Amino acid sequence: MIIKVLLITAALGVALLVLREKAGQREASRRAAGLLLVLAGIVAVLWPELTTTAANAVGVGRGTDLVLYLLVTVFAYTTLATAQRIHRLQHDITVLTRELALSRPARPGDGEVPARAETGSAVGTGSGQEHP
């Protein structure tokens, strides 16, 4: 019984995070899917025999196996979608950086490398002391 309370509390916490996230028109479907997933999780915790019934309906032996398969699928999708989004953002940053660099004229003193010390100077030789 304690595990059910903990799992339902965790699911409600996830629901709060889903609702708290600012969502535009495009994100409304993701928010609805997230809330449906939370609701399905709460139903599965309260009535675990329903997962076995659903698993048998689709040809899986146990409800826990079905839940595992679904979680692995969702994890793989989320991982790939996140990787693609990161790649797209990196590309966008590169394009914006190039456009910004080309739109600003170079000014004296911007990004110039300091002049190097001449060869044979007293820099780094112990203030000009002679060596035998």
Would you kindly state where each structural domain of the chain is located, as residue ranges?
A: 2-102
- Do residues 11 and 17 lie in contact, with contact meaning Cβ atoms separated by under 8 Å? no
pLDDT at residue 129, as a whole number: 53
Q: What is the pLDDT of residue 29?
A: 81
Low-confidence ranges of the chain (pLDDT < 50): none
- Give the per-residue pLDDT at 119: 61
Angle between helices 28-46 and 2-20 (to 10 degrees): 170
Q: How far, in Å, CA of 19 to CA of 41, rounded?
A: 16
